[in-house]
Amino acid sequence: MTQRMIEITSPNFIREEQLGEDSDLSGFFGAPRPLALEIGCGTGHFALEWARKNPATNLLAIDIYNQGCFKTCRKADEAQLDNLRVMRLEARYLLSRVLGPGSLAAVFVNCPDPWPKKRHRRRRLVNKDFLDLLLYSLGPSGDFFFSPDFANYAHEVADLLQSHKGFANCLASPYTTTLPGYPLSKYMRRFLDKGQPIHFMHYRKQKGVDIDSPPEVCRGFRVRWDKAGNE
């Protein structure tokens, strides 16, 4: 069943057609600041709390679902934060086609779709190609936070990050089930309330790792890239 599309009129919503050619998003925020990105913002609980705690950094929250963007915008409108904006856009398209190299101070991926069936795991967002794309998008010493709720996904990505020469682990172990001070999304709290752990990872881009052009990435299978906006 197709979900009803909700028109988003929030001043905190950035439409794809509003983007210029220079990939500079600072003009959409209250002031130019370092830019962080949350991929898959859901209904906006994490984005809102993180933006409140980090007023010196702008946060762009994206999701491919119209209703999630609408609910996140509603929270941003009520909070009147000038460092939180929302887009409906596929993550790999944003990173490779919109944002310039080294443009992000941090990237957050919380409770992504785990695609638990073995035949579907190639559909997972975070893989070797995605990590290479992050190296292009993250600035010097940029941070990557990955917090899956599915153990197999956590083990898979932890192994990739541990062996990747472009990232350094900021924790004492490949991942942890507690990360004090890290905002919890609605879905994180739901899993934790059921006694299911969240696997928190925090890695940092290694110094001296610079990529001038984005690596080739496959198009997102959920949405066509030319239909990822508010249409």
Instruction: Map tokens 């944002």 to a residue.
Output: 99
Instruction: Map tokens 């794809």 to a residue.
Output: 16
Is 129 considered catalytic here? no
The Cα–Cα gap between 66 and 60 comes to 15
Helix, strand, or coil here: 169? strand
Rg (CA), the chain: 17
Task: Work out the angle at residue 184's Cα, subtended by the Cα atoms of residues 221 and 118, and round it to the nearest 5 degrees.
Answer: 35
Catalytic residue selected from 113, 143, 149, 212: 113
Pure H helices in the chain = 45-53, 66-79, 91-93, 128-137, 151-163, 186-193
* Residues with a known catalytic role: 113
